[in-house]
Amino acid sequence: MALLEQVPKMIQLIHVSKRYDQRSALSDVSFEIGKGEFVLLMGPSGAGKSTLLRMLIGAEQPDEGQIFVHQKNVTMLRRSEIPYLRRKVGTVFQDFRLLPKKSVFDNVSLPLLVQGISSADIRRKVTEALRAVGVDHKRDQLPAGLSTGEQQRVCIARAIVNGPVVLLADEPTGNLDPALTSEIIELFKLINARGTTVVVATHDPLVMEQVNRRVLTLSQGTLLPERRVMG
């Protein structure tokens, strides 16, 4: 923890609670994640992992508490400011969420397109991102023509193409076999090694085995005592 105090905070939750009707999704959750950390957010389905990630990008608001991402108070952001937060936070989804009628290149270029980046810069950055995840040779194909692992790589390329400070991944290996899971985790480690803070929400023990990092565990919306996994 002494090391954490020396690095700038990238994510901070202070007494965050969220309820849906009578069910508590998160209850008094507080933690900090420093710049450049790789954190696993573990817990079974329904533990509140997805809710927490959605809160980090302003897609949900807590009933109580405050959330800071990259020194911005997400709970205080106006609706018009949320897109600018999301440009600093890359998101990877379990179901990939790729546009089926657009090519790999077009899918990955979307985050740059919405920021009004020039076509030349888009070409350069998309090529870099596709090379980083190893699917540059599939750039002209439609998502349906890719394997599951390749689709997840494209999703990761889209999340990192504009150089986010934080990468959030919600069950990124949920649809992958053990071999592909290892490949994707290695990819996250590479991205993290370049300085991006990575938060991976998963219930997959295989992921935990492969990551020698800090683990935050949620159980029924409550944060359990923190632990560090030694790989």
Q: Which residues bind another protein (CB under 8 A)?
A: 57, 59, 79-80, 83-87, 91, 97, 99, 110-111, 114-115, 158
Closest CB to another protein among 112 and 208? Answer: 112
Q: Least CB distance from residue 210 to another protein, whole Å? A: 27
For the chain, strand residue ranges (E) read: 9-20, 23-34, 38-42, 64-69, 72-73, 89-93, 166-170, 197-202, 214-219, 222-223, 227-228
CA–CA distance from 59 to each of 6, 49, 228 (Å)?
30, 14, 29
Structure-block tokens of residue 5: 């105090």
Q: How far apart are CA 218 and CA 27, in angstroms?
A: 10
CB of 92 to another protein, least distance (A): 11
Residue 19 in tokens: 């309820």
- By beta-carbon proximity to another protein, the closer residue of 83 and 145 is 83
d(CA 160, CA 156): 6
| Cβ(109)–Cβ(126) below 8 Å | yes
Toward another protein, which CB reaches closer, 42 or 129? 129
Q: How far is the CB of 199 from another protein (least distance, A)?
A: 16
Nearest Cα neighbor of 198 from 223, 164, 222 is 164
> Smaller CB distance to another protein: residue 95 or 226?
95
**Shorter beta-carbon distance to another protein: residue 99 or 193:** 99
> Least distance in Å: CB of 125 to another protein?
14
Give yes or no for a contact between 222 and 47, defined as CB atoms under 8 angstroms apart: no
